[in-house]
Amino acid sequence: MNAPRPGRNVVGIGMTSQRTRARMVERLREQGITDVRVLEAMAGVPRHLFVEEALASRAYEDTALPIGFAQTISQPYVVARMIEILIQKKEPGKVLEVGTGCGYQAAVLASIATEVYSIERIRELLERARTNLRELRLKNLRLMYGDGAAGLEKAAPFDSIIVAAAAPELPQALLQQLAPGGRMILPLRDGAAQAQRLILVERSARGYTETALDPVRFVPLRVGKA
């Protein structure tokens, strides 16, 4: 496991301060995020801990930032929007996150849900996420190394699934691991145009229903481990 990075603290100063985080939350409200659970979680998680120190002053801007390995930390609005849709008018229950990345979205989810499993296919990135998350001591969050496209069968079923990479089609393994009454949100690619759109999948006794939502831009969902 990587050694803790010196000089990082949860509270932050200047452009990483609580005041800057509060401005981010106010911007999210202006952009239409209304779920109090989401807003409070976004206010509580110090996003600057999850980016490189050279980018810390930009941590609360509404933009995606590089985290290495050709991956990014999603912009705050997209994180908030996806989680808000996922838990709309329901409790998140047991959550599976596909694509841990730097660990930021996992921390936000763990601030809302009772139990969160987060799976990452890039081992070194997963270890970096562990380091990022260490100070927050989130006892209801479990990080796993594995092929996210295959889900996490041993912990299934999940009440909520959130995918942080764009798939060309709905991953069958994730559909099967979604509990009845559960929801999954993920970006899907349009193979012809390479455009992406958020898709909400809901499972009922009658099967699955899909709702197309916002256009987005995510890194592609890869299979296997790295």
**Is there a domain that residue 223 lies in?**
no
CB of 70 closer than 8 Å to CB of 122 = no
Amino acid residing at 118:
S
Amino acid residing at 188:
L
Average pLDDT along the chain: 92
Total number of domains in the chain? 1
Q: Is 118 designated active site?
A: no
**Is there a domain that residue 147 lies in?**
yes
Domain that holds residue 90: 14-216
If one compares 17 and 78, the residue with the highest pLDDT of the two is 78
Distance between start and end Cα atoms, the chain? 16
Average pLDDT over residues 44-49: 95
pLDDT in tens, 61-93: 999 999 999 999 999 999 999 999 999 989 999
pLDDT in tens, 171-221: 999 999 999 999 999 999 986 667 999 999 999 999 999 999 999 999 999
Average pLDDT over residues 47-62: 94
**Is there a domain that residue 3 lies in?**
no
User: Of residues 74, 111, 118, 160, which has the active-site annotation?
Assistant: 74
Alpha-carbon gap, residue 93 to 113, rounded angstroms: 6
**Is there a domain that residue 4 lies in?**
no
Per-residue pLDDT at 154 exceeds 50: yes
Per-residue pLDDT at 119 exceeds 80: yes
pLDDT, position 5? 45
Per-residue pLDDT at 134 exceeds 80: yes
CATH code for the domain in which residue 125 is found: 3.40.50.150
pLDDT, position 2? 37
Q: Report residue 149's pLDDT band, with 50, 70 and 90 as the boundaries.
A: very high
* Cis peptide, bond prior to residue 220, ω within 30 of zero: no
pLDDT, position 11? 63
Q: Quick one: tokens of 91?
A: 């409790």
